[in-house]
Amino acid sequence: MDTKPGNNFLHTVIADDLAAGRVQTVVTRFPPEPNGYLHVGHAKSICLNFGLAERFGGHCHLRFDDTNPEKESQEFIDAIQEDVRWLGYQWAGDVRFASAYFEQFFDWALHLVRNADAYVCDLNAEQAREYRGTLTEPGRNSPFRSRSVEENLDLLQRMRAGEFEEGSRVLRARIDMASPNMNMRDPILYRIRKVPHHQTGDAWVIYPTYDFAHGQEDAIEGVTHSICTLEFEDHRPLYDWLIEHLPVPTRPRQYEFGRLNLNYTVTSKRKLKALVDEGIVSGWDDPRMPTIAGMRRRGFTPASIRTFCDMIGVTRSDGVVDVAMLEHAIRDDLNTNAPRGMCVLNPLKVILTDLPETHREVLTAASHPSREDLGSREVPFTRELYIDADDFREEANKKYKRLVLGKRVRLRNAYVIEATEVVRDEAGEIIAVHARTIPGTLGNDPADGVKPKGVIQWVSASEGRRATVRLYDRLFTHEAPDRGDNAYLEWLNPESLRVVEGAWIEPALAAARPEQGFQFEREGYFVADRYDHTAENPVFNRTIGLRDTWAAAGEDA
């Protein structure tokens, strides 16, 4: 696929910085907060940050922005690292933690206080909100704004020492309560939180806010281009203000891009967490989740996700990408790389009455129609087979290209057969179809010139294997489930998962390795489940169906 990442505005910025000598080596970073699993939106950021470093011969750090211990945990730290690695990226040096810089941040807080650039404020949250003003009215100065340097120093040390209650005091930057930018109205730098931190234990009872941490982390690490999403644009003046007022070692610059929005998908962390907590999905890695872990379990490949990120580009406008693009990326990858196999989801027995009971023939089928390097597999052909019930009709018009009573169809990789009779149970339901093989049709058209109407997949009834196949579909039926606060729950697709316990697969598929992807011909792309699949109890997840212009056209025969 032509996904040559063209040029985006960041390429231009960086190329200019390099050319002008403002930057020697590009350093970027992917800075997740470990408070949830990574999702497809993060994948865009990961591809961007690591991709930029790769493209310009620089480095990209993985840094946990762990400044809010209440919502964070080691589970997320582990999962995030695994996801980044799985996507195929390796961060420069060790994993970094904002919490590792807490002592430095505190020193810098003292620095601001000494320069009268910060003060300890005793307003509670509600009062602070009142003093902050509104979007259209300026705020008012806090009554604690003019405390002496000495008093502020003393108070800040005592905040750290744990002498004050949570919420009773904060450290604030002294900037401008009348600024039209709310972020500049004496933003909070430190708050008191008497909770243990997953990295620093109980060493701290005050924690820096995002604003007082992020730019400084970047500066410490020598990040040259700090790339974040559009909603942080208003924070840039504060980011720059702190860099200017602190004796930081380097001067990183912040750039913003538009975050990824996907239709039929929810990416709000809160909503994703609710889907997990309320048991609507089986976990963060449920194959229906747009998380990296979920997509992995669904059968997406790292390459397909990276291709997708290249396809959608990077700009400063916010749009909604059609999930069809993501689907195209994975279909394209699997079409060229996944071995083929045959699977019958809704079995209907076919008895080839012209063959003896003991008939057994081992056919060889190419694993891929055009990739000879993928080799072949053996497929046993026997008297009794299963085909999909949808692939047989007693009568149909000429548009129906499958098996019809009295007509012929080609069994994929095998013979042409002709249906001769239907067998019914007492209730009149069709329970089997009798058919005969047309001699000499292995690799050839029938000698009598009567060509088969179509090609269908099949599995030997005596040698095929039973398998559990999970048919996944989009989780939401609404194009914009993320809209509103909780409307998404009303748009849940009741058919997002259909489990087929009685599917039949050709023997070779049972030997699949977990996470191995296949195309089940005429059905779609499937992956052996990462956790549940075994040779004894095969479990496959449908990654995505084949493009189906027949069904899409609403055709019927």
Catalytic, out of 55, 193, 269, 349? 269
Q: Which of residues 98-137 bind RNA (CB under 7 A)?
A: 123-125, 128-129, 132, 134-136
User: By CB under 7 A, is residue 514 in contact with RNA?
Assistant: no
Interaction of residue 166 with RNA, rule CB under 7 A: yes
Alpha-carbon distance of 521 to 411, in angstroms, equals: 12
Q: Which stretch binds RNA (CB under 7 A): 186-194, 297-305, 464-472, 474-482?
A: 186-194
Question: Would you call 473 exposed, middle or buried from its count of C-beta atoms within 10 A (0-12, 13-18, 19+)?
Answer: middle
**Cβ 152 to RNA, closest distance in Å?**
16
**Is 256 an active-site residue?**
no
Q: Of residues 190-209, which lie at the interface with RNA (CB under 7 A)?
A: 191-193, 207, 209
Place of tokens 């974040």: 228
Site for RNA in 352-371 (CB under 7 A): 368-369
* DSSP-derived 3-state class of residue 386: strand
CB-nearer residue toward RNA: 214 or 470: 214
Catalytic residue among 33, 233, 361, 515: 33
User: Under the criterion CB under 7 A, does residue 412 sit at the interface with RNA?
Assistant: yes
- The residue within the footprint of RNA, chosen from 75, 151, 234, 378 (CB under 7 A), is 234
Quote the CA–CA distance of 546 and 527 in Å, as a whole number.
14
The pair of structure tokens assigned to 461 is 């009834």
Q: How far is the CB of 415 from RNA (least distance, A)?
A: 7
408 interacts with RNA by CB under 7 A: no
Contacts with 214 (C-beta within 8 Å, 6 or more apart), sequence order: 31, 65, 98, 226, 239
- Segment 8 to 47, residues that bind RNA, using CB under 7 A: 8-9, 12, 31, 33
Contacts with RNA, 491-510, as mask; x by CB under 7 A: --------------------
Buried b (16+ CB within 10 A) or exposed e, 106-119: bebbbebbeeebbb
> Do 250 and 219 meet the contact criterion of CB atoms below 8 Å apart?
yes
String of contacts with RNA for each residue 458-497, x by CB under 7 A:
----------------------------------------
Q: Which two tokens stand for residue 216?
A: 């400084």
Instruction: Using the minimum distance from each CB to RNA, give the nearer residue, 459 or 530.
Output: 459
Our answer to whether residue 515 is catalytic in this structure is no
C-alpha span between 420 and 424 (Å, rounded): 14
Catalytic entry in 145, 259, 273, 349: 259
SS3 395: coil
Verify whether residue 130 is a known catalytic residue.
no
CB 262 within 8 A of CB 40: yes
Spatial distance between the Cα atoms of 465 and 511, rounded to a whole number of angstroms: 11
Task: Yes or no: say if 521 and 457 are a contact pair by the CB < 8 Å rule.
Answer: yes
Which one of the spans 51-59, 82-90, 227-235, 497-505 is the region binding RNA (CB under 7 A)?
Answer: 227-235
Residues belonging to the active site: 33, 259, 269
